[in-house]
Amino acid sequence: MTVEAALVLPVLALFTVALLWGLAAAAAQIRCVDAARAGARAVARSEPVASAEEAARAAAPGGARVTVTRTGDLWRVSVEAAAPGPSGMGLTLRAGAAALAEDAPYGAPS
């Protein structure tokens, strides 16, 4: 029984660490989505781009990159952040949101 426990315990520990990392990465992804939506809402309300970027950065994970662009009547906000863990473990989390500008006529083609 001791040999089996010695073999199983490291596997269980590794599984637990992987599970916790996966949960932390999922939580960070949700924060990226929320941040993109917050930025899109802000620019859609005709707030300055700098304010929208700040709103998105406030909701995003630390060190996230926020990009705000406008194409026609549509504002797009992109958020990119490294996944939690050592060097993000090589994984980049991305989220985007779009909103129609308030100064755009309703139903106007873009």
pLDDT, tens digit, for every residue of 57-83?
A: 999 999 999 999 999 989 999 999 999
Tell me how many domains the chain contains.
Answer: 1
Whether 107 maps to a domain, the answer reads: no
pLDDT at 48 over 60: yes
Could you list the residue range(s) of the whole structural domain that residue 12 is in? 2-100
Q: What is the pTM of this model?
A: 0.82
Contact 29, 56 (CB under 8 A): no
Please check whether residue 56 is in contact with residue 34, taking contact to mean a CB–CB distance below 8 angstroms: no
Assess if residue 30 is contained within a domain.
yes
Average pLDDT of the residues of the chain? 90
pLDDT category at 108 given cuts 50, 70, 90 is low
In a domain, 17, yes or no: yes
